[in-house]
Structure 1
């Protein structure tokens, strides 16, 4: 059995410290800048000088920023729910039905991940323009569902593969149709996977900048990411205190969701890693 020497332990903890600094230092610097008075923005003091909540209070009371936050919540929650539902139906179809072209479609799902999102934007923009959806929330919702679909479908297919066919056959004998089987038998057994896809879809849409800036140009409908860029960048001078405070506000919803659902998320990511 591999024995951990003192040298290995030192090397391990030095690497962990380096990774921690690399990951957490920008976040700590963001918080530090948000709590600084405007006059001390460019000072190098790190959590030692005077602190104020003025920057955060300015962002929280700014109706325009709060409007962007509301738009992001609508789009992210909507796309997350839609993606989870569509991925559930597609995953159940691939797992429990046998039909011609099934493997080809499954392969195309994964091949779609090979294309950069920036290239796909060209065709998506044209489709949304011709369908009259350009500039609406539906353009973003459909786009985010499309990008969540491949990974979400394959993840849930793995869950549904673990459900015995005999359980589904028993439900059919009791008179249940396919929708009833999904709602009352299959989906309750795949809750961790469903929550994993919901979180993935939410975070993807919440952090997106390229599509939100391109498909929606109305300031009243902008999401938080694109709204903050249009508000704080391109000005004659940048208020870094306000920008960092707005960034903290943007992080809070994702952090709360992950903390509340991390048990299901970790279970969903590790399910099937060990065979019995």
Structure 2
């Protein structure tokens, strides 16, 4: 951000069109500490961060925490919906295709297409089919649950493709284990073996990938919210980068890093619940 051409003081003063005088620009630089070296500004930022102070937005003239808080809800709804849809699609595909060569071959083609297609292109295709042609869902905006369906699908499909591959491989390994043979000998149906026994054994690699899923969601929301003209942190980040609003960009990065760390800690705690061997090793 610091290497991008432009003067933060002029941005704070209202941009080039404001025609701020040199005296006004100097006063702004003194007020915001822009004359100090970048290293000093960074140390001061860390000090404010310890007090949970993210500073103020250059463009909006408001606390960064307030700006982020207002847009956090729509982004959380989008990310949660996409994560839920992605996991559900992945599990369904894995259960239906594991150990079935023909179904697995078809599923792999679909998974490859979803993984290799960018989020924005998936969003455009979904809009063209389900909004413009079929008119099942609204084109733009975030008015009501129906407006969440296509953005969630655009985010979820690439995630589902990767998770389906990992889950299916875990299921196929689990179905070859002795416990699966024992369950079959006791008369358990194939569906029961897959859903109740094998799926739990395949869950650990999926949990490991959940951190990657979070990263994909954080990156994808910026693009998807732009394509579907939705409010959210992605919209805030794009506007802040364009306007060189350093405090807002930094605040979103800090929030993303904190969320990523907390979720990974939670995943480490979940490993023991999913795999009894981890609990036994820790005991």
> Same fold by TM-score, threshold 0.5 exceeded?
yes
Q: 1:225 aligns with which of 228, 231, 234?
A: 234
Q: Given the alignment, which residue of 97, 108, 113 partners 2:100? A: 97
Aligned pairs for 1:1-276 within 5 A: 39-41=32-34, 43-47=36-40, 50=44, 51-53=47-49, 54-56=53-55, 58-60=63-65, 62=66, 64-98=67-101, 100=102, 102-129=104-131, 130-135=135-140, 136-165=147-176, 167-168=179-180, 170-171=182-183, 174=186, 176-177=188-189, 180-208=192-220, 209-215=222-228, 217-218=229-230, 222-230=231-239, 232-235=240-243, 238-262=244-268
- In 1, the alpha carbon distance for the partners of 2:122 and 2:247 equals 36
Give the stretch that moved more between structures: 108-117 or 155-164: 108-117
**Structure with more contact order per residue of length (Cα contacts < 8 Å, sep ≥ 6):** 1
Greater shift in the superposed pair: 50-59 or 120-129: 50-59
- 1:38 Cα offset (Å): 5.7
CA deviation vs aligned residue, 1:111-130 (integer Å, no higher than 9, x gap): 44344444444312213423
Give the TM-score normalised by the residue count of structure 1. 0.65
Structure 1 258/128 Cα, relative in aligned 2: closer, same or farther at 3 Å?
A: farther
Deviation track 1:51-71 (CA, whole Å, cap 9, x = no partner) reads: 4354358222x1x42132222
Within 2, Cα distance between the matches of 1:105 and 1:191? 19
> 1: distance between equivalents of 2:148 and 2:249?
25
- How many correspondences in the alignment? 221
> Contact 1:78–1:141 (CA<8 Å) still a contact in 2?
yes
Corresponding residue of 1:7: none
> For the aligned residues, what is the CA RMSD?
3.3
Q: CA deviation at 1:233?
A: 4.5
Q: Does structure 2 conserve the Cα–Cα contact (< 8 Å) formed by 1:41 and 1:241?
A: no
In the TM superposition, what is the alpha-carbon distance from 1:263 to its structure 2 partner?
Answer: 7.7
Query: The residue matched to 1:46 in structure 2 has which SS?
Result: helix
- Which has the larger displacement, 250-259 or 127-136? 127-136
Task: Flag the 1:116–1:70 CA change in 2: closer, same or farther, 3 A.
Answer: closer
Q: For 2:248 and 2:262, locate their aligned partners in 1 and report how far apart those are by CA, in whole Å.
A: 22
SS at structure 1 position matched to 2:150: helix
8 A contact 1:41–1:240 mirrored in 2: no
State the distance in 2 between where 1:44 and 1:170 align: 69
DSSP-derived class of the 2:139 partner? coil
Distance of 1:233 and 1:45 partners within structure 2: 18
1:154 to 1:229, Cα distance in 2 relative to 1, 3 A: same
CA contact (8 A) 1:84 1:194 kept: no
> Which segments of 5 or more consecutive residues in structure 2 lack a partner in the other structure?
4-29, 57-62, 141-146, 272-283
Structure 1: 5+ residue stretches without partners? 1-25, 27-36, 266-276
